[in-house]
Amino acid sequence: MQGCTIEEDETTGFSIRHGEHSLHVRAYDINDRMQWLNVIGDMRDYFIATSEQDSVGIHRTDSLDQGEGDSIDFLADIERIVGDIQAQSQLSVGGQPPTVEALSRLQLTAAAAAAAASKRSSTSAPTTPATPTTNTTAGSTAALTIGTISARASAEVADNAAPAAAASTASTAAPKALSPSRQARKPTVLVAKAAAGTFSAPTSPTTPTAASSTDPSLPTKKATDRKLSAEEIKDYALKTGGTQDDSANSKNVVFRQDGDNSVVLQFSVGDDGKEDKYTIAAGTLDQLVSRLADENNPDTGYIDIFLLTYRHFLSPAAFIDRV
């Protein structure tokens, strides 16, 4: 944006500054940062376009042609909106990074404000939510090994991880610096009550034939985790390019099952002995696709590697259908 500078900020991610005005944005990774910048740019264009058309709006139309003046007004309004969003306790202390949710609310708030100002229903923000974006099907349980796909540490993982087994296992991954809110979250041990499936079932991918009656993407129950057995660990080591000797390094492999969807995660251990990262080692097609737009653990690295390698087990047409 014209006249604006972007500054790094360790506590909030980054900030956009223009003179005395500054907008602090919570963005802890490049994915969130790019989404924020895109949305803010779109919102600015939206405000300008709306004001140009209707000569009314929440911005002064007489400042739109004054170069940097519109940026100042725009930042002031956006700063107010972001402040309102971050003032909500569930976003600031809920444990989950508020960036993307705040982003969506910011979009809705700005769109609603602009729509009300423009008094045009055709440009108002949508109110009808769409169906979930993942096309989940029943019966698609083929397990696929796609190598090592890095995933970012998450609060959910920290909650579900079993830290006891992590202390005695070597790992090459160094702990990633986490935000204070994430560091405050204490991992808890989740004990799987029953074996929830088998890992070694690599069959050919199945094409979805019919949608299930209930949407599996909705949380019917909390996902269950269980440790792999010794045989499964050996099988896992072989299927991921290792040998049986590597099974000692696979003790942190967790089989997570949520309904018909399963995914195998391999946790790594930081210097403090806690599991703070995980690698998606295998999963059903639905799980692998749904992890691309995971609401809890956004990870651009996983998206890049998936887009690079998905052709080994999925055609482009089948992939876009599942999206």
Min CB(304)–other proteins separation in Å:
8
Give the burial class of 140: count Cβ atoms within 10 A of its Cβ; 0-12 exposed, 13-18 middle, 19 or more buried.
Answer: buried
Cβ proximity to other proteins, 126 vs 172, nearer residue: 126
Could you say whether residue 42 binds other proteins (CB under 8 A)?
yes
Could you say whether residue 46 binds other proteins (CB under 8 A)?
yes
Strand ranges, E, within 154-274 = 224-227, 253-258, 261-269
Query: Which residue type occupies 121?
Result: S
Min CB(185)–other proteins separation in Å:
19
- How many residues bind other proteins (CB under 8 A)? The answer is 51
Min CB(247)–other proteins separation in Å:
34
Span near other proteins by CB under 8 A; candidates 116-124, 175-183, 190-198, 199-207? 116-124
Could you say whether residue 45 binds other proteins (CB under 8 A)?
yes
Residue pointed to by tokens 């996902």: 223
Min CB(75)–other proteins separation in Å:
19
Interacting positions 289-308 with other proteins (CB under 8 A): 292-295, 298, 303-304, 307
Could you say whether residue 167 binds other proteins (CB under 8 A)?
no
Question: CA 285 to CA 319: how far, in whole Å?
Answer: 9
Could you say whether residue 92 binds other proteins (CB under 8 A)?
no
CA–CA–CA angle 266, 268, 271 (5° rounding): 170
Question: CA 280 to CA 266: how far, in whole Å?
Answer: 6
Question: Hey, what long-range contacts does 242-248 have (CB within 8 A, 24 or more apart)?
Answer: 248/169
Packed helices 69-86 and 30-54: angle between N→C axes, nearest 10 degrees:
120
Could you say whether residue 172 binds other proteins (CB under 8 A)?
no
Q: Is 168 helix (H, G, I), strand (E, B) or coil?
A: coil
- What is the full DSSP assignment across 98-130? -HHHHHHHHHHHHHHHHHHHHT-GGGSPP-SPP
Per-residue binding letters, 206-245, with other proteins (x by CB under 8 A): -------xxx--xxx-------------------------
Min CB(299)–other proteins separation in Å:
10
Could you say whether residue 93 binds other proteins (CB under 8 A)?
no
Min CB(114)–other proteins separation in Å:
10
Could you say whether residue 84 binds other proteins (CB under 8 A)?
no
Could you say whether residue 129 binds other proteins (CB under 8 A)?
yes
- What is the full DSSP assignment across 34-103? HHHHHHHHHHHHHHHHHHHHHS-SSS-GGGTTSTTHHHHHHHHHHHHHHHHHHTSHHHHSSSS--HHHHH
Q: Is 320 helix (H, G, I), strand (E, B) or coil?
A: helix
Could you say whether residue 201 binds other proteins (CB under 8 A)?
no
Min CB(113)–other proteins separation in Å:
12
Cβ proximity to other proteins, 194 vs 218, nearer residue: 218
Positions that interact with other proteins (CB under 8 A): 31, 35, 38, 41-42, 45-46, 49-50, 53, 100-101, 103-104, 107-108, 111, 120, 122-123, 125-126, 128-134, 213-215, 218-220, 292-295, 298, 303-304, 307, 311, 315-317, 319-321, 323
